[in-house]
Structure 1
Amino acid sequence: MKILLTSATIIDASSSHHLTTQDILIENGQILKIGNLADLPADKIMSGLYVSQGWFDSSVSFGEPGYEERETLENGLRTSALSGFTTVAVNPNTNPVADSHADIAFIKAQSKEHGVTLLPIGALTTGSQGEALAELYDMQKAGAIAFGDYKKSISNANLVKIALQYAQNFDGLVLSFPNDSKIAGKGIVNEHISSTKLGLKGIPALAEVLHVARELTILEYTGGKLHIPTISTSESIALISNAKAKGLDVSCSVAISNLFFDDEMLDGFDSHYKLMPPLRNKEQVAALRAAVLDGTIDMVTSDHNPLNIELKQVEFDHAAYGSIGLESAFGALNSLFGTEKTIEILTAGKKRFGCEVHPIEEGNQANLTLFLPEESYTFSEKDIHSTSLNSIFLGHTLKGKAQGIIAKNQLIIQ
């Protein structure tokens, strides 16, 4: 297939064509020419789009196998593509939990022919029960790119120590969700003025901070590679910054929702705003945004977590945690940080998770995201491609929309 992008604005700081408007000719999945090519014939011609390297999301959930009513792998990959993501790391919160070679192989097989590259995260412990280490090496051989129990912290510190030591044998990346369950107790929202006012049990920042401090202390002892997903406090930022200064191999992410919203959104008891980690106060949100800008936070994730209506449209206390986020990711980040920084953010996690990087240059593989950054709009159900509709961004103003991707010699567009 021959694709011609005319008058395309290139946003790619690693490319010699960064911030220029060019024509781009793509044939059989490769960038053949960049320049003034408007008169060349092509199977598909598109004009006036913005183009960047393909975006990456380090934390998405699709449900299949076991929770297909929330999201199938097929529709999840389609949603990823239409949201601008060429590569996604999928969490093991399935039924059964993805904790074996066969589970990882099944997930990989489902995406083999799709334009979006799916990278499975294997469970760190058997059944994500936090009791025994899963078969990490077997999963790595099947294609797992990291190991972690989604939204579940491990209370047994020795298990984390063993995981970090063992994974070094094959350069494995260990994920540890930062929440001390004993400190969090029965809390469901951020412990702050808003939780007291609303009469909801609070989760103190201490629950996250203690866990981050413990994992970093273990990492300093064992060595290895650690990723701490979806932090939400300034204290965690400081701890991770100090650990990096010591030379520890640690990275972290933040969920887009925790950058965009604060706990004042809880006033209406709308379960769309019930997340884990919980929405924090304005000061914490400001600290998170600053840490994204200065690079202390390595990557940002949509933390896409589809949930069927029965799990969300119930009393706030009983509602499940989570929001979809792929479709709103670009518009939310672009509203906060502007286009150049947003593209940097959306491609920042690739190397950490072992993804190939393809600058927009002649001769390179075409792994591209197509988008328009200027349009402001109110995010609504018509913008959702997911099977589930549990989006925290419904009714909020965003700026910019993904149009699709070109990847693995496929064009998938809105």
Structure 2
Amino acid sequence: MQVLIKSATVIDRASDHHKKKRDILIFNGTIQKIAASIEAADADLVIDKPNLHLSPGWFDSSVSFGEPGYEQRETLANGMAVSAASGLCHVAINANTDPITDNKSAVSFIAQRTEAAAVNALIIGALTQKSLGVDQAEMFDMFQSGCKSFYDYKRPVDDVNLLKLSLQYTQPFGGLVQSFPYEHGLSPKGVVHEGVQSTMLGLKGIPTTSEILRIQRDLGILGYTGGQLHIPTISSAASVALIRAAKNEGLNVSCSVAAHHLLLTDQVLDSFDTQYKVMPPLRTKEDQDALIAGLKDGTIDGITSDHNPLDIEAKKKEFDHADFGTIGLECLFGVANMTLGLDEAIDALTGLRSNFGIAQTKIAVGEKADLSLFDPDLQWTVDAKQLPTFSKNCIFNGHQLKGKAYGMILGEKYHLNS
């Protein structure tokens, strides 16, 4: 198959064509030619879009699709289609299902359901059996079935010895252990960031200390055991400082931040809108500034949508009783672009690829086509009802974003929005 991309501005710091407008010819999934102008009358597909830009393929390290068990929230088929429409080439699917993805058969089920999709699915296996935090899951068997990372989604590893053993156990085969940074005992009934806003609104708080203590502990264990540790969705300035220091000491640690923490702070809670109830909670402007700075200087390795579709019944409750979580795949690029700037947004959307076992690529002749297509200047207002995800629990509903995806190309597979 021959694909011709016309007049696209290349955004790739590693490429000789960075910030240049180029035609790109792709043959059987490989970039064959890059030039100012290419004629290919026999091309099977010609892509010519207004203000077209492209970059190396984006990766989202934390998405939940519901299936199996919560298909009413989102199916694997629709979730993968939404990912492609959102410009993503790779997504890591959480073990946030029923049954939990904690064995080889469960991994195989998801792999079979996603193999035909244009987007590459990386399956995250549970760290412990049924994500209960007691006994290790079948990590090596899952690794042999394709899992590169292990994570009990949004459940902290309370047993410090279990974390130690997991980091040791995964070293021989290069597995990536994830540990959610939350000391639940400090705020067992907390629902928002602990601070001035929580006091004024009368809502129970979750202090930044609950995140900081766990990161300190986990980094201490990592220094003792070695291995690879990923800390998902950090939210505070102190966390950024801790991870920056750990990296300077040579520890093999990576981390991510959720898109909503870059755009929103706890000031939006005045509305008592449960769409703003997320874990970790929205924090202060000072924390937000530190997170953005951490992305720009490389302390934070990447940005995630932390996409978590929920039933309407889970959100249409009093704030204290509503579930934590938001969807965000469709908004991921718009938020990253608007808060970071274009070059830094692309870095944030590709920075975690190698940590999760995805080869870094560049836009050059002979490279596999691994491309996200987008318009970085398009202004649009989020309308949750119009988003293609089944569930509509979108924290960005009503907010204006800058930048929207046209689609993606991965090898010989592609998706283009109409």
* TM-score bin (small chain): over 0.9
Q: d(CA) in 2 for partners of 1:153 and 1:80?
A: 27
Deviation at 1:353, TM superposition (A): 0.6
Tell me the equivalent position of 1:12: 12
Deviation at 1:242, TM superposition (A): 1.4
Tell me the equivalent position of 2:21: 21
Query: Contact conserved, 1:152 with 1:177, CA < 8 A, in 2?
Result: yes
Q: How does 1:368-383 map to 2 (within 5 A)?
A: 368-381=371-384
Aligned partner letter, 1:15: S
Aligned partner letter, 2:12: D
Return the match for 1:341 from 337, 341, 344.
344
Q: d(CA) in 2 for partners of 1:35 and 1:241?
A: 40
Q: How does 1:15-414 map to 2 (within 5 A)?
A: 15-41=15-41, 42-47=43-48, 48=50, 49-381=52-384, 384-414=387-417
TM-score normalised to structure 2 length: 0.97
The number of residue pairs the alignment matches comes to 414
Deviation at 1:170, TM superposition (A): 1.1
Q: Residue deviations 1:110-159, cap 9 Å, x none?
A: 12122100001100010000111111101101111100100000211111
Deviation at 1:401, TM superposition (A): 0.4
Q: d(CA) in 1 for partners of 2:198 and 2:36?
A: 58
Q: Residue deviations 1:37-95, cap 9 Å, x none?
A: 44321222122411111100110000111111111110010000000000001100100
Q: d(CA) in 1 for partners of 2:381 and 2:124?
A: 33
Deviation at 1:18, TM superposition (A): 0.9
Q: Residue deviations 1:267-286, cap 9 Å, x none?
A: 11101000000000111111
Query: Contact conserved, 1:327 with 1:383, CA < 8 A, in 2?
Result: no
Q: d(CA) in 1 for partners of 2:171 and 2:27?
A: 40
Task: Tell me the secondary structure at the aligned position of residue 337 of structure 2.
Answer: helix
Q: Residue deviations 1:310-364, cap 9 Å, x none?
A: 1111111111111111100111111111211111111111011110222111121
Q: d(CA) in 2 for partners of 1:172 and 1:122?
A: 10
Q: d(CA) in 2 for partners of 1:357 and 1:245?
A: 23
Aligned partner letter, 1:6: K
TM-score normalised to structure 1 length: 0.98
Q: d(CA) in 2 for partners of 1:236 and 1:53?
A: 29
Aligned partner letter, 1:136: M
Unaligned runs of 5+ in 2: none
Query: Contact conserved, 2:262 with 2:335, CA < 8 A, in 1?
Result: no
Unaligned runs of 5+ in 1: none
Q: d(CA) in 1 for partners of 2:353 and 2:46?
A: 29
Deviation at 1:382, TM superposition (A): 5.8
Q: Residue deviations 1:232-264, cap 9 Å, x none?
A: 111111111111111111111110111110001
RMSD: 1.1
Q: d(CA) in 2 for partners of 1:3 and 1:165?
A: 46
Aligned partner letter, 2:232: P
Aligned partner letter, 2:256: S
Task: Tell me the secondary structure at the aligned position of residue 122 of structure 1.
Answer: coil
Give the % identical residues: 50
CA distance 1:16–1:382, shift in 2 (3 Å): farther
